Amino acid sequence: MAYSEQVIDHYENPRNVGKMDEADAHVGTGMVGAPACGDVMRLQIKVSDEGVIEDAKFKTYGCGSAIASSSLVTEWMKGMTLDQAGEIRNANISEELALPPVKIHCSVLAEDAIKAAIDNYKSKQ
C-alpha cells in the first residue's frame, strides 16, 4: 500500500511520543482500541487551570496511519481549549493525512481518543 507523504512524515518522526502521570489531576488519559483489532491508542493531555491544553502525549500500537493520526492530533491539541479540542473530527484528520478509505477507522479512533482523554480529565475535576 502506498502511504501519503504526511503519513510517512509522522510515522518517521512521530511528535509528542510519551507518557504522563495518570494520577496527576491535571492529566486526562484516553485509551481506545483493542489489541485484537490491531490498534490501541493512548492519548494524554495536560490541562491548565484555565482549561487550555498545555501538553499532549501519545503512544500507539497500530499501523502507520494509526500512528500518524495520533501524532497529528497531539500537535493540533496543544494550545487548544478543551472545547476546541472536542471539536476535532475524524474528517479533519483523514483529510490532513490523505488517508485512503480503508484507513478512515484510524482517524475515527484518534477522535475517540481525544474524547476519552477530555472525559477522563473532566471526571477528575
Catalytic residues: 37, 106
| By the rule CB under 8 A, 15 interacts with another protein | no
- Dihedral pair phi/psi, residue 92, rounded to 5°: -60, -40
Would you give the distance in Å from CA 21 to the centre of its chain? 17
| By the rule CB under 8 A, 30 interacts with another protein | no
- Dihedral pair phi/psi, residue 122, rounded to 5°: -60, -35
Bridge partner residues of 18 (DSSP): none
> What is the footprint of another protein within residues 76-95 (CB under 8 A)?
none
| By the rule CB under 8 A, 114 interacts with another protein | no
- Dihedral pair phi/psi, residue 87, rounded to 5°: -95, 0
| By the rule CB under 8 A, 11 interacts with another protein | yes
Grid coordinates standing for 48?
Answer: 491548565
* Smallest distance, another protein to C-beta of residue 53, A: 20
Question: Would you tell me which residues interact with another protein (CB under 8 A)?
Answer: 1, 3, 11, 14, 17, 19, 31-42, 59-64, 66-67, 102, 105, 108-109, 112
